[in-house]
A and B are shown apart, each in its own frame.
Chain A
């Protein structure tokens, strides 16, 4: 199994631009999670999906952030417009269809907004 796949691995953009981060979960996993990691705030859960349905998006910082999961094998996290304070490493993770199970993390996307 290839594990959780994220793209791009690095993204540098200018303030005001739209940024789209992509994630392919492990096949057979029905839960998908988006996290943001910064030195100041640590690892924060932004949103998670069960069976492609958003369950809890209370961690999404602002309306500039949106996430979709059109099917079981693909999810996007979009920031529009981006701001310098959005600079962070964004992780996607997935887990099997068993409640309270371990999560498998992707390698992350390092986002820098200038």
Chain B
């Protein structure tokens, strides 16, 4: 089963509104990353939050991490039509030098102009 599971599976909002996506995972992690995928394209890294961090900002993005609940959230403020994409959380487990990411199933965000 997927290490990370996003919620909701699909989200539709108006331009200018905020979008919040959630991710839950099962095992202890070293860090959690969020990626964006535009239709027909590869994934693009957005932000990385380490297990000892609780909140991180990057432009209009805000990520929180609650390791006690094994969950993370991605907030996109003042959304734009160009933010329409699929958003994936990915976890890196705490295991030696393992570098592989385990991706969730993604949230499809649609921002209506």
Chain A residues in contact with chain B, CB under 8 A?
4, 31, 33, 42-43, 45, 48, 50, 55-56, 91, 93, 95, 99-108
Contact = CB atoms under 8 A, between A and B. Distances in A.
Q: Which of B43, B48, B97, B99 lies at the interface centre, i.e. has the most chain A CB atoms within 10 A of its CB?
A: B99
Interface in B70-106: 88, 92, 97-106
A87 B30 CA distance: 33
A103 B101 contact: yes
A42 B99 contact: no
A32 B88 CA distance: 19
B31 A107 contact: no
Q: Report whether over half of chain A's contact residues are helix, strand or loop; otherwise say mixed.
A: strand
Given A103-B45, A108-B42, 13 more contacts: A31-B99, A43-B43, A43-B106, A45-B100, A45-B101, A55-B99, A91-B42, A99-B30, A99-B99, A100-B30, A100-B92, A100-B99, A108-B41
B57 to A, nearest CB: 17
A32 to B, nearest CB: 10
Contacts, number: 52
Contacts of A95: 99
B2 to A, nearest CB: 7
B79 to A, nearest CB: 23
B44 interface: yes
A31 B102 CA distance: 15
Given A45-B100, A48-B99, A100-B31, A107 B42 contact: yes
30 contacts: A4-B42, A33-B100, A42-B104, A42-B105, A42-B106, A43-B43, A45-B100, A45-B101, A45-B102, A48-B99, A55-B99, A56-B98, A56-B100, A91-B42, A93-B42, A93-B43, A95-B99, A99-B30, A99-B99, A100-B30, A100-B92, A101-B99, A103-B43, A103-B45, A104-B45, A105-B35, A105-B42, A105-B44, A107-B42, A108-B41
